[in-house]
Amino acid sequence: MITMKEKLYYVEEGKENNEAIIFIHSNLLSNWVWNRQKSQFKDYHCIYLDLIDHGKTQVNMGFSIKNCRELIKNIIINDLKYKKVHLVGIAIGGTIIIDLLYKYPNIIETATISGVNIKNFDDIEYNVNEKSVNKLKMPDEIKNINNIIINQENKRIQYLLSSIKECKNNILDKKPSNFIISGFLAEYGIGKEYFDRLKETIKINNFIKVSEEYLKYRSPNETNNFPHLLILYGTKEYPKVAKSAELIQNQFPKSKIFSIYRAIHLWNIINYEWFNETLIEFIVNKNIKDKDYIKRR
């Protein structure tokens, strides 16, 4: 059980304002990724937080999407006192927002997610042996097929995690830290001026746990009628991110989905003027218009 003593570290601005924006960072990073957003939303009470095992957050619990979800819910209820709350998240930050929308939709006014990569169980690739299916007997047939699918997916995830651990032990642990940080610079698509920031933030030991949470998370197979969800992805991101955006839109039929021209993972830093303009337009109008850099899908 999560107690009131467990809190996420956050930086806040505009505490006097009546509406709040909570910014949730990407994998392995911390609240500094929102520096290009800080001081740009002066009419809002802005919260720039650090997730569990990231940045300056120190709590007596391990990182998980569920634990982060519950601590963010506590911020909304206890610290923001039910102000109108707008959520903004990138990658795993967006995944946590999806989980919040399923669990606590009534405490959220709008949600904007970018670069999220999730699956649901309908999206899992599997290979059920025909003979094994023919042996199944009603009425447990559907249940047994589902168990076969889940078991195969769990094996796939464990294989990927084992590969990640092997890579860490045999390669990353033997490389100088500067080599690893340079790799993350390339992955996130940001310049060398952020090298020191990444070096302070990246904790390789967290990589496996965060990857496990990301791989294992499955969005519920149910329709969610939350009215104000904006789904964004960059046209230069991995194809699976665009596929995930479509999956999320199918589950949130009232959501809006847009692609960002030639944007990659941390476009809130690289193309921050586009990001800030898009975000404020959606928060104010609950909709956005096509522009040269953004197109409805």
**Backbone dihedral angles phi then psi of residue 226, each to the nearest 5 degrees:** -55, 130
Residue 3 per-residue DSSP state: -
Please name the amino acid found at residue 76.
I
In-domain check, residue 255: yes
In-domain check, residue 196: no
Name the token pair of 79. Answer: 């610290």
In-domain check, residue 266: yes
**pLDDT tens string for the chain (297 positions)?**
676 789 999 999 999 999 999 999 999 999 999 999 998 999 999 999 999 999 999 999 999 999 999 999 999 999 999 799 999 999 999 999 999 999 999 999 999 999 999 876 455 443 444 444 444 444 555 556 556 656 777 787 788 778 878 887 888 788 898 999 999 999 888 999 999 999 999 988 888 888 888 888 888 888 999 999 999 999 999 999 999 999 999 999 999 999 999 999 999 999 999 999 999 999 999 999 999 999 998
Q: Which residue range is the domain that position 281 belongs to? A: 10-120+215-296
CATH of the domain at 284: 3.40.50.1820
Structure-derived torsion over alpha carbons of residues 55, 59, 63, 69, reported in degrees to the nearest 10: -100
In-domain check, residue 170: no
Residue 14 per-residue DSSP state: -
In-domain check, residue 63: yes
Alpha carbons within 13 A on the beta-carbon side of 239: 0
In-domain check, residue 96: yes
pTM of the model: 0.89
- How many domains does the chain contain in total? 1
In-domain check, residue 180: no
In-domain check, residue 103: yes
Report whether 101 contacts 111 (CB < 8 A).
yes
